[in-house]
Amino acid sequence: MLVQLSYHLKFIIATLLGNLFIVEVLFNNLGLTTFLLSYNQPAIFFISALLLFLPIYSLLKLIEIGLFLLLGKGAEL
């Protein structure tokens, strides 16, 4: 079950990030996408994207390593 959950986690996170702008507009929240639209400089976009991507990538890699150690075989996510 953990392998299936970790496999579908990529799709779930991609869907959540894809709908982030719509949710921010509907609920009038000033979030990351509003920040990126207000300050549209390449350096700010790069740093914001990096700060968003690195924790998600690290979490997925930690889950993959944990499953490898737990199951003893590789589960490619």
Q: How far apart are CA 48 and CA 73, in angstroms?
A: 35
Task: Kindly report, residue by residue over 27-77, the tens digit of the pLDDT.
Answer: 998 888 888 888 889 999 899 989 989 999 999 899 888 888 888 876 565
What integer pLDDT is reported at residue 76 of this predicted model? 61
Q: Domain residues of the chain, as ranges?
A: 2-71
What integer pLDDT is reported at residue 27 of this predicted model? 93
Please compute the mean of the pLDDT values over residues 12-24 and round it to a whole number.
Answer: 90
Q: How far apart are CA 64 and CA 75, in angstroms?
A: 7
The two structure tokens encoding residue 20: 């982030």
What integer pLDDT is reported at residue 5 of this predicted model? 82
Q: How far apart are CA 64 and CA 51, in angstroms?
A: 21
Q: Are 63 and 9 in contact (CB under 8 A)?
A: yes
Please compute the mean of the pLDDT values over residues 2-16 and round it to a whole number.
Answer: 86
